[in-house]
A and B are shown apart, each in its own frame.
Chain A
């Protein structure tokens, strides 16, 4: 499946795009997404270990199963306030 991943803050700056499209296997979990993101968007390497993944507007655990229609975002640790 093809999955759109929104990027924010330094992740967006490093990738040079607000959204990237990843080609993923059908039964992909969040943990697989992390690996594929590092492989398919190598510019994110400096942040890879700290990137957080959100699915449908909430933080997602590594075992969460992804669907191609889910809204997925990836971003570095937050610093609001």
Chain B
């Protein structure tokens, strides 16, 4: 299950969606609005998406993860719009038979989401200025301030056909 939302993410409900008697492990990742980035103070973030493509890429990521790990259920929710400090921007919940699979799948999903899903954040700094975060671009946040990797390579092999379940 994947979704883009504009209201607060109910991470309890999201976690319940992936719980199952078949899954002995449930991992939940929450991304939240952080106050400090390399010493600069943020008061809020604005998130924007290219919605159709973001949904397509999220569906691809789900299929990719299901092909790699014995996922019972997965739920990804990304919030868009204006988010205040501490609010949840993204939630990834995944359930698998055993814990190492759930941790690995969850990490893979959030890492890939940050690399390929067309969503952008704009910093609202405490001094009133704003700045798009565009990792690797000269006009965005300097590379040293970002942990993100560079732009994704086009993937010709991803997202084709139905998810391959390996359960």
Contacts and interface: CB of A to CB of B under 8 A. Distances in A.
A70 interface: no
A77 B113 contact: no
A26 interface: no
Contact of B138 (A46, A52, A58, A71): A46
Interface residues on B, range: 35 or more
A77 B140 contact: yes
Interface in A1-28: 6, 8-10, 13
Contacts of B110: 81
A38 B102 CA distance: 44
Interface in B88-144: 89-90, 110, 113-122, 132-140
Interface residues of A, number: 25
B40 interface: no
Contacts of B39: none
The DSSP consensus for interface residues of chain A is: mixed
Contacts of A78: 114-120, 135, 152
Given A77-B151, A78-B116, 10 more contacts: A10-B120, A46-B139, A52-B152, A58-B155, A75-B50, A79-B121, A80-B49, A80-B90, A80-B118, A81-B114
Contacts of A76: 120, 132, 134, 137, 140
B16 interface: no
